[in-house]
Amino acid sequence: MKKKWISLVLTLVTATALFTGCGKEDTGNDGLDSNADTSVDTGEESGQNATKPEIAPYAYEDEINIIDDQYRNYYEIFVYSFFDEDGDGIGDLQGVIDKLDYVADMGFNGIWLMPIMKSTTYHKYDVVDYYAIDREYGTMEDLQELIDACHDRGIKLILDLMLNHTSSQHEWFTTAYEYLKNLPEGQDANAEECPYVDYYHFEKLEGKKKSGYHPVGDSEWSYEGVFRSEMPDLNLDNEAVRKEFEAIAAFYLDMGIDGFRLDAAREFFSGNAGKNTEVLSWFSDYVTGYKEGAYLVGEVWENFTTIQLYYESGMTSFFDFPMSQHNGKVASILKGQSEASSWGTTLESIHAEYSVKNPDYIAAPFLSNHDTGRWANTMVNNEDHIKYGAGLLLSMTGNPFVYYGEEIGMPSSGSKDENKRLPMIWTYETNRGKTQGPKNADSGIDYKFADVQTQMEDELSILNYYKRAVRIRNENPEIARGIVSSYPEYSGATLCVISKEYDGNVIYVVYNMGEEADTFDVKAAFGDVAICDYLTVDGSEVTFTDGVLSLPKYSICYLK
Ligand code: CA
């Protein structure tokens, strides 16, 4: 069966090459679509739009095979900049509902919503009321509608939850602040008079300076706010605070929320991984005890060794910061700073390190998020590298997280947070749904790549690369769930070979991480296996003849 497909593909490739003169690998961008990348000089082939070459049909598409467990392909949404349903220029929950079919069509089956609770800021990481939806975004009824609409589409929805701090406008804090401000000098705070004084870290510093502390008016009191004075840090040693968060978690889990992303877990007790792990252990036990299968992913912006320590908490996931961003593993491969073979050995050793602390852990890799430069910027708008980074991410075991707009190569600019959270560009044809983005974002930041609508229609777009990469995950459960074995004997500077085993099935992954085409003798290595899927950055084919794979530049081939 597969052999027939392969010969069909070969015929089509040959035919395509004859008609178009394509199949060459001489340009970084094959110029098939003038809209996809205006930043890379493609050498202006005349009439390229008129003679858009046919891409050979993809022969390896199989049925979707979704297992209803905790493994998901997550999509991170910043509601503010996503889709504006009511026309006030600010994205909203109804806008997310409006775009759920898009999210589902891309193959994402999990959504992480950045904070939506009542807040005083555009980013809403400082919560004023944990039981209210911010009016800019909508209502609790909208959230219920969103939860139900997600579940109708098999999408899990997790919320960003801030345990580390509240807004300085939160009633807990304002009550404690007023109490202490008016307390006569020299008098101790009395938690029976005002329980909220124990909700935060209030201290008399007596003239000493303490990093991250801010004064309570003109009083002798100060409070901790590691990020800023408007975000006072909560005292997570206090049982009463824990009870508050148990009630908050239960409230949302009862509505149908599938879990939480825990913000700033490294700062619960800044610099004290042991205490932070205890807090995470308490919360994780509570949430999973309250709702079986609820999913938690923690933000601990640290290296492998430290993240490993946090897995002792029993939390299911922590974001894989060391794989992500400009200095992470994926970028180092693409920048030629590490050999392809190290990809396999790194994946293997991460698993060994994490699983020893929590055998049921699920890795949470990503390329960029709302706090980092966007992936397209990290890859300086090199379309091959943008795509291949996504290919690597979406080949990884665990729950990959894709930041909204990453799938169209959206830009960020510099280190300013607002510039990392720009409006999603659905279409340049109409302003309907277009958000204005954060007010302090710089104007005139250049979107190098086309809008969603254009990219959807272009088979070679970044968007369609993501879509196929996610699809392949959804067809082959081994990719998300498999235990990696690396094969250094077959891997080298640009070639990497791994296998993944899950539930008695093995899938082989062969990566050509180089700019040149390469071959790999699969039959000699693994005997009779067949291609089940592949990804190339420019629409060229992976071929398989007499057991030997021919791999175009930046390709990934899956075999079973
Ligand atoms: Ca709106």
Average pLDDT on 163-192 reads 97
Using the mean position of ligand 1's atoms as its centre, give its distance from the Cα of residue 149 in Å: 19
pLDDT at site 207: 87
Evaluate if residue 12 carries a pLDDT over 60: no
CA proximity to 164, closest of 4, 305, 272: 272
Residue 57: pLDDT band with limits 50, 70, 90: confident
CA proximity to 258, closest of 97, 128, 473, 72: 72
- Residue found under tokens 């510039």: 419
200 beta partners: 234
Instruction: Say how far apart CA 123 and CA 501 lie, in whole Å.
Output: 40
Evaluate if residue 332 carries a pLDDT over 60: yes
Q: What is the pTM of this model?
A: 0.90
Evaluate if residue 161 carries a pLDDT over 50: yes
- Find the range with the poorest average confidence among 7-21, 25-39, 165-179, 312-326: 25-39
pLDDT at site 412: 97
Using the mean position of ligand 1's atoms as its centre, give its distance from the Cα of residue 270 in Å: 36
pLDDT at site 11: 39
Using the mean position of ligand 1's atoms as its centre, give its distance from the Cα of residue 99 in Å: 14
Average pLDDT on 496-518 reads 98
Task: Kindly report each contact of residues 16-25 with a partner whose C-beta sits within 8 Å and lies 24 or more positions away, as own/partner.
Answer: 16/53, 16/54, 16/55, 16/56, 19/53, 19/54, 20/51, 20/53, 20/54, 22/53, 23/540, 25/516, 25/517, 25/538, 25/540, 25/552, 25/553
Evaluate if residue 285 carries a pLDDT over 50: yes
What's the CATH architecture for 4-167+236-477? Alpha-Beta Barrel (3.20)
Chain centre to alpha carbon of residue 482: 20
pLDDT at site 53: 54
Catalytic residues: 263, 299
Instruction: Say how far apart CA 425 and CA 431 lie, in whole Å.
Output: 10
Instruction: Say how far apart CA 448 and CA 446 lie, in whole Å.
Output: 6
Residue range 58-92, pLDDT digits in tens: 889 999 999 999 999 999 999 999 999 999 999 99
Domain ranges across the chain: 4-167+236-477, 171-224, 484-559
Residue 2 sits at φ, ψ, to 5 deg, of: -65, -40
Evaluate if residue 376 carries a pLDDT over 60: yes
Using the mean position of ligand 1's atoms as its centre, give its distance from the Cα of residue 137 in Å: 6
pLDDT at site 37: 34
CATH number of 484-559: 2.60.40.1180
pLDDT at site 23: 29
Is residue 365 within 8 Å of residue 397, measured between CB atoms? Answer: no
Residue 52: pLDDT band with limits 50, 70, 90: low
Same topology, domains 4-167+236-477 and 484-559? Answer is no
Is residue 253 within 8 Å of residue 290, measured between CB atoms? Answer: yes
Residue 36: pLDDT band with limits 50, 70, 90: very low
What's the chain's Rg over C-alpha atoms?
Answer: 25
Residue range 410-433, pLDDT digits in tens: 999 999 999 999 999 999 999 999
Residue range 238-262, pLDDT digits in tens: 999 999 999 999 999 999 999 999 9
Using the mean position of ligand 1's atoms as its centre, give its distance from the Cα of residue 92 in Å: 5
pLDDT at site 244: 98
